Amino acid sequence: MGVIPLAGRPSPASAAKSQTSAVPKITPEAGQWFMARGGLLDGPVIDAGATVKVKIAGKAGIPASGVASVAMNIAASGRTGTGQLIAYPSGVVMPDTTTIRYRQYFYSQNLVFVGVGSDGNVTLTNDSSSAVRIYVDAHGYSLSAPGAQVGATFVPVKPERIGQVDVPANGTAEAALLGKAGVPSAGVSGVLFTLSGSSDVDGKLTVFSAEESMPNDTNLDYGQNLLVQNQVIGRVDESGKIKMANTGSKPIKASLDVAGYFAKPEAAVKGSTVQPITPTRLVNDVTVPANGTYTIAPLGQGGVPASGVSGVYLNVTNYHRTGNGVLRVHPSGTTASETHAVTFQQTWTYSGALPAKLGADGKIAISNASSSPVRIWVDQFAYFKTPATGCTGAAPAADPAPRVKVAAAVPEPHNPTTVFQASAVAGGSTGVLQLAYTDGIGRLMHGSADPSALGSIQWTPIHGQEGYYGQPALGEQADGRLNVLAHNLDGDVWSRTQVTKDPAAWGDWVDVNGPMGSTVTVARHDDTLVAFAADAAGTLRALPQYAANDPYQNWIDLGVTGLSADTAPLAVPVANGLRLFFLDASGTWRTALYARGTVSDCATLSGPGHSGNASVVTYPGSRLRIFVRNPDGHIVTKAQDASGNFQATWNQVGDLVAAGSPSAVLSPGSGKTEIVVRGTDDRIHSTGETVQGSGQWRAWVDAQPDYDTSVPATDPTAFTYSATNGPTWSYLFRTVNQQTRLYWPEEETARLASKSPEFGSRALPKPPAAR
């Protein structure tokens, strides 16, 4: 057979390029974070039992009004003994909490998030019998109302070690923070990490952006062979690096343990806002046994809501009579990593603050990594409020019965094939067509073909030692590497990405965890990919990349419930995000807009009783037209108007009764919408618009040539692509024996408005035999 005049749509890479920065930044909101650094108190002595007001508003680059909270780094040294300082918002009664424990002749340091009083001050009380000298520096702030500028949002992560840095004596060293330990490789303005180290000489460590001059303050005082730590907001430069200066006479090895990061307004996923509370004690003198764990439940306590919280800012104080050790703070239900949250040494009382991510049960674990018990006190100073998301205006349908796949699940042999055209390799004019499907024994087959010579398609089983079911999803990383997502037979979604595009070579499969009920779909969101599925309980979830080319992290709850697990959500790129279409458990089609990790602009599109999958075409201006099969089996459609509203009623497309779901494309040749669907007669039928954008349709016709007796076992997949002789479209299906049949329209652009295309057809090469 000669060259097939194949189809063309913009390749994912070029489509992504046109969508880059299309999704608007988040808007100003109370609790967003702003970086600021400067002195607040410069070495005054506070007498025993005395109280001072620390002016926050109008100092160190902080606004003169409307300040909700401040990140205060406090350095304190007792004049005649040990003691503690208590920081709290001006105007409230002093709480029974601890902010920093100090000792004589040595500066202890602790960075805490503290609420700011209505007068712009923070109160600081020396709750001890010794006078104390203190230094206080600001490291950032949040506002009580939306500001003129949009700020960063905060994402707590499970504490992990970024690495260790050797800082020379009286010198500096650089550390790269991005792309490690759960921190994205881009879209980050600052990283919160615990800085720890030990030395037999006295010295100071100062952390600052690699593109800035060294500031006058200090992040960590060390010496006396003490293992000391402090929380640090590491403001990163454009390359994701920080500098660390050491004023000691010996080099020091510093450990960096990440606990969270600040996401820029244009980051792929919006984080939480910082919400201060009056400091509240959660744990009062509890003993954690050697190598034991104590779990705390901050939700609903001391001003922290019972839900909608991603983490809390804690201060952990400990006392240990004998021996040394480390406390590790981590989300409940996870295993503690080799990190330092708070250190302890015999006969000394220590304090250490950090953001703590909640576990799935809303709790936090504190593990005692030592061979002897330790007493702890825990106070919380702020919480991190998750962004509002979900279709709150529409009543969800009843929860569907869970549809959980188990290891013994039987693969589903006749799911549709996924097709898209990749971006061209260097020096190429057209991209390779990529195809994927799962068969009846759990193999996942990947095919790639020159769009001008599909007869040369090469099928490769890429399932490895695993088994998969359902229609897989294909996406392309920002750097052009192919990514596939598919349901493992254990119910989890697994991901596999090419390590190189040219030559094409696959990396390992990665289990992204969390069983999903529906199959998975993936779409481009600016320069990142985001996958969608409904879990077994019918909750809509997203699996985003947090930066271009990064691994997927965790499934996030989009706040939409009551969905069907039998139909995969559909995601369509639009100017302001991704327009999602999903079927609820009652068979009602619904829609929402996804942008930066949240959904909004929700609407109900149909009545109940629908089933199957939707197909959507995009007109210029991000106007969409959706096609579904209604409860009577007819194909119906509705379109958005110029203001983005969908038509109130569905329009029926002809009289055909369909047996499967429609597949529609916007023909590159004619500019008209074309539809194919499997009929009850086991043939593929087609129709299309009589005039561009009219919503008026030709009569349905048999889309298989008369000589073609092939029987489709799957729904057809229509797709557009570009070949050497220009753009066009085609469709394909598989037979009961997994034979792929391809069909393309003949002389499409020359036909009359009422004339349907005639299709050519051929069988594509068979996949390799099962072994």
Find the CATH number of the domain harbouring 104: 2.60.120
pLDDT computed for residue 412 by the predictor: 77
Q: Is 502 helix (H, G, I), strand (E, B) or coil?
A: coil
Single-letter amino acid, residue 754:
S
| Residue ranges of E strands in 83-171 | 83-89, 100-102, 108-115, 121-126, 132-143, 153-167
Query: Among candidates 76, 62, 215, which has minimal Cα distance to 138?
Result: 62
pLDDT computed for residue 406 by the predictor: 38
Phi, psi of 648 (to 5 degrees): -70, -35
Phi, psi of 339 (to 5 degrees): -125, 165
Query: Does 596 lie in the same domain as 714?
Result: yes
Query: Does 157 lie in the same domain as 121?
Result: no
Domain-embedded: residue 17 = no
Single-letter amino acid, residue 57:
A
pLDDT tens for residues 591-646? 999 999 999 999 999 999 999 999 999 999 889 999 999 999 999 999 999 888 99
pLDDT computed for residue 10 by the predictor: 32
Q: What share of the chain is helix, strand, coil (3-state, %, to 5)?
A: 0, 50, 50
Q: Give the domain extent around 90.
A: 31-148
**Which residues have a Cβ under 8 Å from the Cβ of 664 and sit 6 or more positions away?**
615, 616, 617, 625, 627, 673, 674, 675, 676, 718
Token readout for 738 is: 């997994």
As a whole number of angstroms, the distance between CA 270 and CA 235 comes to 18
As a whole number of angstroms, the distance between CA 583 and CA 605 comes to 10
Q: Is 16 helix (H, G, I), strand (E, B) or coil?
A: helix
The 241-246 sheet, strands edge to edge: 172-176, 241-246, 203-209, 220-222
Query: Does 142 lie in the same domain as 188?
Result: no
As a whole number of angstroms, the distance between CA 656 and CA 663 comes to 14
Query: Among candidates 716, 85, 92, 742, which has minimal Cα distance to 414?
Result: 716
Query: Does 572 lie in the same domain as 635?
Result: yes
Phi, psi of 400 (to 5 degrees): -75, 160
Domain-embedded: residue 514 = yes
Query: Among candidates 395, 446, 400, which has minimal Cα distance to 422?
Result: 446
Query: Does 169 lie in the same domain as 109?
Result: no
Predicted structure pTM score:
0.92
Query: Among candidates 575, 566, 509, 502, which has minimal Cα distance to 533?
Result: 566
Q: How open is the CA angle 385-389-390, to the nearest 5 degrees? A: 145
Q: How open is the CA angle 136-140-146, to the nearest 5 degrees? A: 135
Asked if 532 and 543 touch (Cβ cutoff 8 Å), the reply is yes
Residue 14's H or E segment, with its range, is helix 12-19
Among 203, 235, 263, the domain boundary falls at 263
**CATH number of the domain where residue 550 is located:** 2.120.10.70
Domain-embedded: residue 575 = yes
Among 92, 118, 148, the domain boundary falls at 148
Asked if 483 and 529 touch (Cβ cutoff 8 Å), the reply is yes
Query: Does 194 lie in the same domain as 109?
Result: no
Query: Does 80 lie in the same domain as 64?
Result: yes
Domain-embedded: residue 80 = yes
As a whole number of angstroms, the distance between CA 310 and CA 273 comes to 10
Query: Among candidates 304, 380, 374, 299, which has minimal Cα distance to 344?
Result: 374
Pairing between strand 342-345 and 228-235?
A: unpaired
Token readout for 744 is: 């393309």
Q: How open is the CA angle 351-178-236, to the nearest 5 degrees? A: 70
Query: Does 121 lie in the same domain as 157?
Result: no
CA end-to-end distance (rounded Å), the chain: 31
**Alpha carbon 709 to chain centroid, angstroms:** 47
Query: Among candidates 532, 433, 410, which has minimal Cα distance to 482?
Result: 433
Q: Is 472 helix (H, G, I), strand (E, B) or coil?
A: strand
Domain-embedded: residue 3 = no
Domain-embedded: residue 374 = no
Q: Is 730 helix (H, G, I), strand (E, B) or coil?
A: strand
Query: Does 143 lie in the same domain as 243?
Result: no
Among 231, 263, 295, the domain boundary falls at 263
Buried b (16+ CB within 10 A) or exposed e, 525-539: bbbbbbbbbbbbbbb
pLDDT computed for residue 346 by the predictor: 67
Domain-embedded: residue 662 = yes
**Peptide bond between residue 411 and the one before it cis (omega within 30 degrees of 0):** no
Which regions of the chain are under pLDDT 70?
1-21, 346-347, 392-410, 748-754
Query: Does 505 lie in the same domain as 486?
Result: yes
Query: Among candidates 710, 716, 740, 743, which has minimal Cα distance to 728?
Result: 743
Phi, psi of 748 (to 5 degrees): -65, -45
**Which residues have a Cβ under 8 Å from the Cβ of 398 and sit 6 or more positions away?**
562, 585, 586
Query: Does 181 lie in the same domain as 243?
Result: yes
Domain-embedded: residue 504 = yes
Query: Does 179 lie in the same domain as 130?
Result: no
Query: Among candidates 495, 453, 450, 445, which has minimal Cα distance to 475?
Result: 495
Residue 13's H or E segment, with its range, is helix 12-19
Q: 55 has which bridge partners?
A: 121
Instruction: Mark residue 454 as left, alpha or beta (left: phi above 0; alpha: psi -120 to 50; beta: remaining).
Output: alpha
Q: 203 has which bridge partners?
A: 222
Total domains, the chain: 3
Q: Is 456 helix (H, G, I), strand (E, B) or coil?
A: helix
pLDDT computed for residue 749 by the predictor: 52
pLDDT tens for residues 647-706? 999 999 999 999 999 999 999 989 999 999 999 999 999 999 999 999 999 999 999 999
